Amino acid sequence: MNVLFVCHGNICRSPMAEFILKALVKEQGREGDFYVESAAVSTEEIGNPVYPPAKRCLSRHGVWFDPEKRARQVTRGDYDRFDRIICMDASNLRLIRRIIPEDPEEKIRLMMSYTDVGRDVADPWYTGDFEATYQNLLAGCEAIARGE
């Protein structure tokens, strides 16, 4: 399954989700079953690395991240490359429609729709609470890894 995680800038939530899911499927010996990337709906952070507090949070949980990861924007071509395009919040969902206006295969969903929690993944850029974001992302990634 090819999974693309999407947030506003691709420096906090979506790369955290990318590396969390990669770690989970590696633990399960299912790396070959998944291809995972992340991207942004905006151009604000293009080329920038993962935000240092996000890296610190991943490290605290023993989650490896690629230090060379750089923010990129979602493209229309991503729709054909990925089976699931998972947005972190309603704003991301609204903005991705400018890039990918149609979703005939219903690939585009909200991250927390994979869990029992019907809300957005809070943006730690604003909240400063990277741990709460990590826990939300972990719950969503565990469900995705289970094939839900």
Q: Which residues are catalytic?
A: 7, 13, 123
CA distances (Å), origin 147, targets 10, 16, 114, 115: 24, 19, 10, 12
Q: Is 148 helix (H, G, I), strand (E, B) or coil?
A: coil
Give me the phi and psi of 11, to 5 degrees please: -125, -10
Closest CA to 50 of 73, 26, 66: 66
Closest CA to 117 of 145, 91, 92, 138: 138
Closest CA to 110 of 2, 6, 1: 6
